[in-house]
Amino acid sequence: MKTDRNTANSRNEKTTPDDVSVTVIEPASGWRLIDFKELKDYRDLFYFLVWREIKVLYAQTVLGLSWAILQPLVQIVIFTIVFGKVAKIQTDGTPYILFSTISILPWTYMSQAMTQSSQSLLQGQAMLDKIYFPRLLFPITPVLARLVDFFISMVILVAVMIYYQVSPSWQLLWLPIFFCMMASIPLSVGLWMSALAIRFRDVKHAMPFVVRMLIYSAPIVYSASSIPEKYRMIYSLNPIVGVIEGFRACLLGTAMPWQYIWPGIITSILLLLTGSLYFKRMERVFVDVI
Amino acid sequence: MSDSNTAILVDNISKRYRIGLKDDMHDSLLRTAIDFIKSPIQNYRKYRSLYVFDEKDNDSNNSSSSIIWPLRGVSFEVKCGEVIGIIGRNGAGKSTLLKILSKVTDPTGGRAEIRGRVSSLLEVGTGFHPDLTGRENIYLNGTILGMRKTEIDRKFDQIVDFSEVEKFIDTPVKRYSSGMRVRLAFSVAAHLDPEILLIDEVLAVGDAKFQQKCLNKMEDVGQEGRTVFFVSHNMLAVSRLCERVILLDEGRVQIDDESHKVISRYLCPEGGSSAEKVWSDPAKAPGDKIARLWAVRVKNADGIVKTDMDIRKDILLELEFEVLESGSILLPGLQFFNDSGLELFATDDLDPEWRRKPRPVGRYVSTVAIPGNYLSEGTHFVHVSLTTVDPYIKQFFEPNIVSFNVVDSFEGDAARGDWPYKFGGVVRPFLNWTTQYQSRT
């Protein structure tokens, strides 16, 4: 028996208030901008997604969050031996451990966040197909979640700086800029690559080794001053160069090498803009093409 | 275009996909080698073309091999508080429609408007992570389904209660049995509080008992005056939950009407009444060289084929079949199901004359009368079979071949008397009551 007659009658009398939310579903056309209001509506979900990402990565591990320290630490030690002691790379007078710690910590963050962000849509396929929430949350989530590892790994930096008795200078006030730049790079790459990976699975195969190569594109194991002056402009278009040089100058209190930084700031802004545009454009076909 | 009483308005929605991802077959080693070299370019074109359409693809009637139109101009309107079912065969466009209304995918053309807070449930437990505890998954899944954190805080105890997993709420979900996981997932979904609920039948998962629980819960949701949009394969669930049903066929709305009418049309697509099924072409009729079925009819006490049956009167079921080969003892049989899928009873033709006698070639009509005041109100479905005896071999078996509605005209002389509301039971006998009265003096 479906319903009794009483409820059937009362239903017809029920009216909807005028202030109801109306969802309009239409074919999307052309370029769309990011809907920040909608993102704000989903902030609780965003919080739980980031939190899940953090929690799940080290689930059922013995060392837990210590892995966030251990991984870069091992890399720093190896690089110090290989590039510092064996290859004797010039670092403009900075001890090699200090030199590489400052660059490897942001690099570890950027490379991990970039890789995970690029795979985020494919990995979230099951959810993508079943429920709607702003698709942007997929690539943004790992970019934020990995920041936790980054902050934990700062312990190494603090320890090394205390050991070499580097005292913080006023230059440190510039750090927020480079911090934002550091987070924007994996975000832009993630926006581009996650959307591309939906159509071309090649991204999945290319990303890990491209990221491994990228380490040599920026002054992470070597010093930027070893790049010939005539290539400096092109070299600095890579925003990773700006981030690493910026971090070094802020933390070591040396002169700010703006010539390495400006080109990178411009490219990172461009990358972020084009990435979000491309992502929003592809967004509507994700489910159909995946 | 829409008044304030409209919950969902769908206007000419269509959806196109490209499926043309056919891999070429190679017939020689050389071809394979050449294709291997050429393949990056071909692959690039192929994967690029997945969402690129040109002019000639815009016509939904043009059936290009690589393009499919799961929906071609679907329009309908759902009023506030209506419980509406969407049925149709595989590939009729049901799931695509649900995905469009849930915003999972965009339509290719047309427009839809949903007025009110929507929740869509295409599966239970979306986003569940095995490494997270039950508590954490409730929050994660709840926010994915569109609840706010404060809302989950408020309902948390109810959700846990309903799921019956209190003891393990801080254990990772991967240690749960699959039943516990489904219960937890469903109880989160059950505590959504939307004005409009879009729901897929896959929700009714798990064992029979749990399915029943899901259906009951959905029935409650419908009776609370919320709008429910229910997509299903399962006629029985649809006829139980929905007053109105839309039948989709090849991406178009075929019928949009009261549920029993649509369901019977779906079951008997040839048209005519669901109370009658006739095979005009003997080659397509059920059966084989011993016997073939010609027709099954539901008639009222006056011998007229009808779908709506008076609850007080006899209902006649008539089987017409032809024996093509003499010498077999035949046993025609019927099984009756109600709209919850419960088998009410079965009956075989035990006519004393033919019961043990080999039948000669010819045409037979077997009729059985189901007494009035016997079946309950609602839709009933009939399975038909014919068995040869000694040894028992089923010559044909046709499920859901006819259906009919038992209707109470509310005149007070049936078993419900003057009671106007829900009256339960799978049968509705009109029993004799006796009363003994003693005055107090």
Give the 3-state DSSP-derived string for chain B, with helices as H, strands as E and coil as C.
CCCCCEEEEEEEEEEEEECCCCCCCCCCHHHHHHHHHHHHHHHHHHHHHHHCCCHHHHCCCCCCCCEEEEEEEEEEEEECCCEEEEECCCCCCHHHHHHHHCCCCCCCEEEEEEECCEEEECCCCCCCCCCCEHHHHHHHHHHHCCCCHHHHHHHHHHHHHHHCCHHHCCCEHHHCCHHHHHHHHHHHHHCCCCCEEEEEHHHCCCCHHHHHHHHHHHHHHHHCCCEEEEECCCHHHHHHHCCEEEEEECCEEEEEEEHHHHHHHHHCCCCCCCCEEECCCHHHCCECCCEEEEEEEEEECCCCECCEEECCCCEEEEEEEEECCCCECEEEEEEEEECCCCEEEEEECCCCCCCCCCECCEEEEEEEEECCCCECCEEEEEEEEEEECCCCEEEEEEEEEEEEEEECCCCCCCCCCCCCCCCCCCECCCCCCCCCCCCCC
CA distance A79 to chain B (A): 34
Q: Write out chain A residues lying below 8 Å of B126, CB-based.
A: 126-127, 130-131
The answer, for B179 touching chain A at a CB cutoff of 8 Å, is no
- Whether residue B51 lies inside any domain: the answer is no
pLDDT number for residue A180: 95
With beta carbons under 8 A apart, name residues in chain B contacting A21. Answer: 115-117
Q: Each residue of B68-127: pLDDT tens digit?
A: 888 888 999 998 888 899 988 777 888 889 999 998 888 888 899 998 888 888 887 788
Q: Which of A14, A24, A44 to mutate to test the interface with B (most CBs of B within 10 A)?
A: A44
Q: Same structural domain for residues B153 and B297?
A: no
In chain B, how many domains are there? 2
CATH code: domain of residue B98: 3.40.50.300
In this structure, the answer to whether residues B292 and B150 fall within a common structural domain is no
Interface test with A, best of B15, B46, B51 (most A CBs within 10 A): B51
Query: Is residue B312 predicted with pLDDT exceeding 70?
Result: yes
B257 in the same domain as B232: yes
Chain A residues with beta carbon closer than 8 angstroms to that of B52: none
pLDDT in the model for residue B220: 78
Q: Are residues B227 and B310 in the same domain?
A: no
- At A3 the pLDDT is 37
B407 in contact with A at a CB cutoff of 8 Å? no
pLDDT of residue A5: 36
User: What pLDDT, in 10s, does the model give residues B246-301?
Assistant: 998 888 898 898 887 787 677 655 545 678 888 888 778 888 888 999 999 999 98
CA–CA gap between residue B369 and residue A287 (Å, rounded): 54
Q: Domain with B339 in it: what CATH number?
A: 2.70.50.60
Coarse DSSP helix, strand, coil percentages of chain A, rounded to the nearest 5 percent: 75, 0, 25
Asked if residue B99 and residue B240 are part of one domain, the reply reads yes
Whether B332 is covered by a domain: the verdict is yes
Residue A24 three-state SS:
strand
Residue B281 lies in a domain: yes
Q: Are residues B223 and B282 in the same domain?
A: no
Last residue of a domain, one of B226, B243, B267: B267
Q: Is the domain of B149 the same as that of B290?
A: no
Between chains, do A133 and B144 touch, taking CB under 8 Å as contact?
yes
Taking one residue from A and the other from B, the number of pairs with CB-CB distance under 8 angstroms is 154
Percent of chain A whose pLDDT exceeds 90: 51
Contact flag B105-A18 (C-beta cutoff 8 Å): no
Range scoring the smallest mean pLDDT among A259-268, B59-68, B190-199, B236-245: B59-68
**End residue of a domain, out of B209, B233, B267:** B267
d(CA B219, CA B229): 12
Q: Is the whole-model pTM more than 0.90? A: no
Whether residues B185 and B280 fall in one domain = no
Give yes or no: residues B138 and B258 share one domain. yes
Contact A21 B117 (CB under 8 A): yes
Q: Tell me which residue in B106, B110, B421 faces A28 most closely, judged by beta carbons.
A: B106
- Is the per-residue pLDDT at A73 higher than 60? yes
* In a domain? residue B330: yes
Cβ of B182 under 8 Å from any chain A Cβ? no
**Residue that wins the pLDDT comparison between B291 and B65:** B291
Task: Evaluate whether residue B441 is within a structural domain.
Answer: no
Contacts of B114 in chain A (CB under 8 A): 22-23, 25
Residues B290, B242 share a domain: no
**Residue A16's pLDDT band (boundaries 50, 70, 90)?**
very low
pLDDT at A9 over 50: no
Using CB atoms, pick whichever of B7, B82, B109 lies closest to residue A27.
B109
* Enclosing domain of residue B323: 276-407
Whether B258 and B281 share a structural domain: no
In a domain, B303, yes or no: yes
As a whole-number percent, the residues of chain A with pLDDT over 70 amount to 92
Asked whether residue B251 falls in the same domain as residue B291, the answer is no
Q: Is B145 on the interface with A (CB under 8 A)?
A: yes
Per-residue model confidence as pLDDT tens digits over A123-172: 988 888 888 899 999 999 999 999 999 999 999 999 999 999 988 888 89
From A138's Cα to the closest Cα of chain B, the distance in A is 12
| Percent of all residues in chain B with a pLDDT value above 90, rounded to a whole number | 26
How does the average pLDDT of chain B come out, rounded?
Answer: 83
Ranges of each domain in chain A: 33-167+182-220
% of chain B at pLDDT higher than 70: 87
